[in-house]
Amino acid sequence: MLVAALGFTVLGAGIALLALPGPGVLVIIVGLAILATEFAWAERALDKTLGKASQAAGSLSGNAAGRVLLALSGCALIAAGVVVMVLETFQRWQNAGIGLIVAGVAGLATLLPPVQSWIAREQAKRDEKRAGLGD
């Protein structure tokens, strides 16, 4: 029950972060990973979510213009987060600044070669599954 409570809490926070500043998709993936240790449906949802995330990251970072836009948006998110944290004294706005910084770092992390190779492996796995279903 502890795993379910923790997993649903993290998953709920991730869903909330889709509308709030922060890395919602990453938090959803963590929540699903926690739930996947106990529930088969969560494992299937995690596989599907990882596939969609790797597809989106691969399509964006697959060309030079996409990589430049990803780098610029990541740097802009980090800068905005720092500005929010420096200028605002309210705790909730500082939390929003932290969320912006984390989202920017996550975006920049997709440009790293190990992450790029992981994205390529995930896309290859998904392509193999599709080819197997088409037979």
Q: How much is the pLDDT for 37?
A: 84
| Calpha distance 19→72 (Å, rounded) | 22
Structure tokens at 58: 């691969």
Q: Give residue 103's pLDDT.
A: 75
Burial 119-128 (b: 16+ CB within 10 A, else e): beebbeebee
Query: Which residues have C-beta within 8 Å of that of residue 123, sequence separation ≥ 6?
Result: 54, 55, 58
The domain limits of the chain are 1-40, 54-135
Q: Is the pTM of this model over 0.85?
A: no
What is the per-residue pLDDT for 21? 64
At residue 135, the pLDDT reads 52
User: What is the pLDDT, as a whole number, of residue 14?
Assistant: 80
pLDDT averages per 10-residue partition of the chain, 135 residues: 85 79 74 85 82 72 78 85 79 69 78 78 74 64
Residue 59 is predicted with a pLDDT of 73
| Count of positions (residues) in the chain | 135
